[in-house]
């Protein structure tokens, strides 16, 4: 099988049952994405596939051979942090850090959704999308943090959204 | 996970001829395969089929491709404008990540979240016909109160299908022999009866290709109210999808469907008959709620659903008819 992850081509000979998450972690050495539950319940495995955030544990690698996949390793590097990574560091948006790669990938995908005008469960008028704290919390509910770093995660995301002028 | 063969289908014809289990978003099927609740021998990957568009119908309705992701369907401006109840139901389901992957067809066919169905050590007639039902007499807080059988008391867990039931959607399919058919959503799902493993009228190898929504009801208000254990990212304990129109002080149209109550998205004409022609108000709302819970039966842990759905319906009707909630 062949894959494009973080702009790099990979060839891998893996069992057909391999999830996209296990492909990255166990076969390609991309261990940034985490496995919390392996059942779509925690968001630790969140990756961006063709720009959309998904749970990499609930999809087969074989189904993504023609896709552009981005993991936390592809968003930024230690020397050159992605703005969302930088904001998480400055706002202390984590404690143990296990959920963090998933939170950051999810937040990046989420801001794109807001920019496209996608409403959420807490949006009043579905045609008028703006991003307040209630919106951030709802839109990030697919990422569980056992350490409950939620207030600082929301602070970090709010700051990036404001800088990028995502929505109003 | 048990080993399986895998093939990607590039056309609908190839998919239905494929002789395997369809995988679309995979968010329900893979979850169950990991636990060996589902053990298909062959997966036919339908995720690249050309069924991912939402198109206008001549009658003012919409045709939704079976592969349209839940996120895209919820955010489509035509859906928001004409079928707000559908957008609301979708947005109340799962998480942003899951909605990006979950498809229209897969959502319709997602399986129950009954704990014993998920636990291969438990007795479950749905997973293993004839083995019994550990939910009856067990922990059954999330289980059904209407349309149950001695064999199974599971619920359909979905939100989107509840809204589609209130909207009188039609499910369009193609069979392995190429035959197409259109099934009203009210005829699509089955009650558990003696065969809880059979959940709908699809034949083996029959593919859902589209869902059709008829033209929207004029001047109606839409609502989806979901009651759950946490504010987000949780399945419904009970939910109400409502499309109600009031004209000259009387209820002119009422379509009400319910989640969390039964093996299928529930709809009972008696509930709507108790409302149509009446003035909005407590008397009519109570009559509708009485009609809904008539014959409802709890199994111990889920008895609370009977008063809960009564109250949820009445509160929903207040919002739908503009009556200020006292
Ligand atoms: C943690 C978690 C929370 C969730 N919360 C909610 C919630 O609150 N509300 C809610 O409604 N849902 C919820 N879901 C369920 C989610 O909505 C479903 O998993 C999803 O909709 C299934 O779609 P899919 O495309 O991934 O289906 P798949 O997993 O690909 O398929 C599901 C089934 O449908 C069959 N199938 C798929 N497409 C077709 C087709 N076109 N024709 C014929 N057969 C087909 C498959 O063979 C399989 O049996 C949750 C899921 C998870 C994991
Ligand atoms: S309620 Fe249905 S799904 Fe649950 S254990 Fe009983 S038979 Fe199985
Ligand atoms: S590991 Fe994928 S959602 Fe938890
Ligand atoms: S920082 Fe520990 S789980 Fe989120």
Residue B260 belongs to a domain: yes
The neighbour count for residue B131, using CB atoms within 10 Å, is 13
- Cα–Cα distance between B215 and A80 in angstroms, integer? 52
Q: Which residues pair with B181 in a beta bridge?
A: B173
pLDDT, tens digit, for every residue of A63-81? 999 999 999 999 999 999 9
Whether B100 and A52 lie within 8 Å, measured CB to CB? yes
Is 0.90 topped by the overall pTM? yes
Q: Is residue B89 part of a domain?
A: no
| C-beta of residue A140 within 8 angstroms of C-beta of residue A106 | yes
Interface contact A16-B1, CB threshold 8 A? no
- Domain extent for B251: 220-321
B31 reaches A (C-beta below 8 A): yes
- Around ligand 2, the residues with Cβ closer than 6 Å are B 112, 114, 116-117, 124-126, 133-135, 152-154, 196
Residue B191 maps to a domain: no
* Domains in chain B, number: 2
Domain assignment present for residue B103? The answer is: no
Q: Which distant-in-sequence residues (6+ apart) come within 8 Å of B154 by Cβ?
A: B112, B114, B117, B126, B135, B143, B144, B192, B196, B263
ipTM exceeding 0.90? yes
- In the reported structure, the alpha carbon of residue A35 is separated from the centroid of ligand 3 by a whole-number distance in angstroms of 6
Q: Which residue of B has its CA nearest to A103?
A: B97
Q: Would residue B133 count as lying in a domain?
A: no
* Residue A165's pLDDT band (cuts 50, 70, 90): confident
Would you call B75 and A141 a contact, using CB atoms and an 8 Å cutoff?
no
**What residues flank ligand 3, with Cβ below 6 Å?**
A 35-38, 40-45, 55, 57
pLDDT attached to residue B219: 96
Q: Which residue of B has its CA nearest to A62?
A: B6
Could you tell me the CATH number of the domain that includes residue B282? 3.30.390.50
**Average pLDDT along chain A:** 97
pLDDT value, residue A166: 79
Look at residue B26 and tell me if it is in a domain: yes
pLDDT tens sequence across A13-56: 999 999 999 999 999 999 999 999 999 999 999 999 999 999 99
Instruction: Assess if residue B314 is contained within a domain.
Output: yes
Say what angle helices A150-163 and A100-115 make with each other, to 10 degrees: 40
| Structural domains of chain A, with CATH | 2-75 (3.10.20.30), 83-164 (1.10.150.120)
Contact (CB<8Å) B75/A46: no
Q: Determine which helix (DSSP H) or strand (DSSP E) holds A136, and give its type and residue range.
A: helix A133-139
Please give, one letter per residue, the 3-state secondary structure of B211-277. EEECCCCCCCEEEEEEECCCCCCCCCCEEEEEEEEEECCEEEEEEEEEECCCCCCECCHHHHHCCCC
Residue nearest atom 11 of ligand 1, based on CA coordinates? B158
For CA atoms B243, B248, B252, B254, give the dihedral sign: positive
Residue B200 lies in a domain: no
Burial of B243 (0-12, 13-18, 19+ CB in 10 A): buried
- The residues of chain B scoring below 50 in pLDDT are 324-326
Query: φ and ψ at B133, to 5 degrees?
Result: -135, 105
Helix residue ranges, H only, A32-99: 72-75, 83-90
Q: Which ligand is nearest to the CA of A35?
A: 3
Instruction: Tell me if B42 sits within 8 A of B7, measured CB to CB.
Output: yes
Name the residue among A40, A62, A126 with its Cβ closest to that of B87: A126
Distance B49 CA to ligand 4 centre (A): 38
- Tokens 């895209």 label which residue? B72
| Rounded CA Rg of chain A | 16
Nearest CB partner across the interface for B101, out of A39, A59, A140: A59
Q: How far apart are CA B74 and CA B271, in angstroms?
A: 27
| pLDDT number for residue B323 | 53
In the numeric block, which tokens belong to residue A116? 């496209």
Q: Cα distance from A16 to chain B (closest Cα, Å)? A: 7
Residue A167 — pLDDT band, cuts 50, 70, 90?
Answer: low
Please report the pLDDT score of residue A15 as a whole number.
98
Residue A40 Cα: closest atom of ligand 3: 3
- Residue A104: per-residue pLDDT: 98
Which chain B positions have a beta carbon within 8 Å of A40's beta carbon?
Answer: 27, 31, 94-95, 97-98
């Amino acid at each position: 099988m062949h894959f494009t992850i973080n702009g790099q081509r990979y060839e891998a000979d893996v069992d057909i049952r391999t999830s996209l998450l296990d492909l990255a972690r166990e076969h390609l050495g991309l261990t940034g994405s985490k496995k919390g539950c392996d059942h779509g319940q925690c968001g630790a495995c969140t990756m961006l596939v063709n720009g959309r955030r998904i749970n990499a544990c609930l999809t087969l690698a074989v189904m993504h051979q023609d896709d552009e996949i981005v993991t936390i390793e592809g968003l930024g590097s230690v020397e050159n942090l992605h703005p969302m990574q930088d904001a998480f560091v400055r706002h202390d948006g984590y404690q143990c850090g296990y959920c963090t790669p998933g939170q950051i990938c999810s937040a990046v995908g989420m801001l794109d959704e807001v920019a496209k005008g996608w409403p959420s469960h807490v949006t009043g008028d579905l045609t008028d999308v703006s991003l307040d704290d209630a919106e951030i919390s709802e839109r990030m509910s697919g990422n569980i943090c056992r350490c409950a770093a939620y207030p600082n995660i929301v602070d970090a995301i709010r700051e990036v959204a404001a800088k990028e002028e995502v929505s109003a | 996970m048990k080993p399986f063969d895998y093939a990607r289908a590039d056309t609908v014809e190839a998919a239905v001829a494929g002789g395997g289990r369809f995988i679309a978003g995979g968010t329900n099927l893979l979850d169950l395969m990991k636990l060996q609740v589902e053990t298909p021998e062959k997966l036919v990957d339908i995720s690249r089929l050309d069924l991912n568009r939402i198109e206008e119908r001549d009658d003012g309705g919409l045709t939704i491709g079976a592969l349209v992701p839940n996120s895209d369907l919820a955010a489509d401006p035509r859906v928001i404008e004409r079928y707000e109840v559908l957008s609301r139901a979708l947005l109340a389901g799962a998480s942003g990540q899951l909605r990006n992957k979950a498809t229209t067809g897969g959502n319709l066919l997602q399986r129950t979240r009954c704990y014993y169905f998920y636990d291969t050590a438990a007795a479950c007639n749905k997973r293993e016909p004839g083995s019994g039902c550990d939910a009856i007499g067990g922990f059954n807080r999330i289980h059904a109160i209407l349309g149950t059988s001695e064999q199974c008391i599971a619920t359909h867990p979905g939100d989107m299908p509840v809204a589609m039931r209130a909207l009188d959607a039609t499910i369009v399919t193609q069979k392995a022999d190429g035959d197409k058919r259109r099934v009203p959503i009210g005829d699509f799902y089955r009650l558990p009866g003696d065969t809880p493993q059979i959940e709908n009228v699809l034949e083996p190898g029959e593919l859902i290709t589209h869902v059709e929504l008829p033209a929207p009801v004029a001047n109606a208000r839409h609502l989806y109210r979901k009651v759950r254990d946490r504010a987000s990212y949780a399945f419904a304990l009970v939910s109400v999808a409502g499309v109600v129109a009031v004209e000259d002080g009387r209820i002119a149209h009422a379509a009400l469907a319910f989640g969390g109550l039964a093996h299928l998205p529930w709809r009972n004409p008696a509930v709507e008959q108790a409302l149509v022609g009446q003035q909005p108000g407590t008397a009519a709302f109570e009559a509708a709620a009485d009609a809904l819970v008539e014959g409802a039966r709890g199994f111990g842990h889920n008895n609370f659903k009977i008063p809960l759905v009564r109250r949820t319906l009445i509160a929903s009707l207040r919002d739908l008819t503009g009556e200020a909630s006292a």
